[in-house]
Amino acid sequence: MLNDQTFGHGGSVPERAIRGEIPECHFLEFTYNYRLFDRYACPIASLAVLADDDDGWKPDHYGFEVLGCKHHFQFPVVKLSGLADQTEALDTHRNPFALVTAAHLRTRQTRHDPEARYQAKRTLVRLLYQHGWERQRILDLFAVLDWMMRLPDRLEQKLWQDIAAIEGESKMRYVTSVERLAIQRGIQQGEQRGAQKGEAAVIQRLLTKRFGSLNAETLTRLQTAPCEQLESWAENLLDAATLDEVFKDN
């Protein structure tokens, strides 16, 4: 949501809206804020969390002036990249959002290093069992970690062995057994229904949300690319500032 270009000036609000030039992140922050205010009739605080690596991009306001009427909406912004040197503190923090943030940062740091990602993922999985969280929270957070920190099959199988050992030590068999079988069935069903089509659809939605409508050539590339290529583009999407950077060669 928070990946559009910085809001600029020029042109009245109606004209810019008609031309589709109102940047999504600023406009949505503003829209969500006033809709919540309208519904609950109380002050609303908005916060933007940015997951990109561009230190110079930090949109924090939306406003307009028309016919003598001025409106200025400013909101705080957190750049996850600014927490890159605090991963150890995030690892041990009991807030589940800290663990997800740590997973995001470690995913970016290990983009081209599967072994390092395996070690980081194993560490985070172990922490799931050390915080004393309830079973459902562990399962929910594991699903997030597993989605974010994709591993090659060899390392994924090794990780499952580690998880079995961790659950044996903690006597909390949450992710393995029934959950693992369900995950495996889900993967098999996805393959039977067309994994390529599903992955392409997800990436298409993410690209459209971040860069706007896609042209016919881009849609064709997504629809015809093999799963391995789609996964590579999904990795590129984490850091890409432009559509071309998503499709660059590794």
Q: Is the pLDDT of residue 67 over 90?
A: yes
Q: Give the pLDDT confidence score for residue 188 in this predicted structure.
A: 57
pLDDT in the model for residue 180: 53
The pLDDT value recorded for residue 249 is 65
Mean pLDDT of 39-52: 89
Average pLDDT over residues 196-207: 78
**Which of 88 and 39 is assigned the larger pLDDT?**
39
Query: Do 13 and 66 contact (CB within 8 A), yes or no?
Result: yes
Distance CA 79, CA 57 (A): 9
| Mean pLDDT computed over 36-65 | 88
What is the pTM (predicted TM-score) of this model?
A: 0.57
Is it the case that residue 236 has pLDDT exceeding 50?
A: yes
Length of the chain: 250
Check whether 23 has a pLDDT greater than 60. no
Q: What angle do CA 76, 142, 198 make, to 5 degrees?
A: 85
- What count of other Cβ atoms lies within 10 Å of the Cβ of residue 157? 10
Q: Would you state the pLDDT for residue 41? A: 93
Band of pLDDT at residue 22, cut at 50, 70 and 90: very low
Q: DSSP character for 175?
A: S
Does pLDDT of 95 surpass 60?
Answer: yes
Residues 6+ apart with CB under 8 A from 161: none
For residues 124-136, average pLDDT? 87
pLDDT band at 66 (very low <50, low <70, confident <90, very high): very high
Is the pLDDT higher at 229 or at 35? 35
Q: Inter-axis angle of helices 227-237 and 195-211, to 10 degrees? A: 30
Q: What is the CA radius of gyration of the chain?
A: 21
Provide the pLDDT confidence category of residue 42 given band limits of 50, 70 and 90.
Answer: very high
Decide: 76 and 60 in contact? Cβ < 8 Å.
yes
**CA 28 vs CA 13, 15, 70, 77, 222: distances in Å:** 14, 18, 18, 14, 28
Distance, in Å, from the CA atom of 237 to the CA atom of 157, rounded to the nearest integer, reads 26
What integer best gives the mean pLDDT of the chain? Answer: 78
Q: Does residue 16 register a pLDDT over 60?
A: no
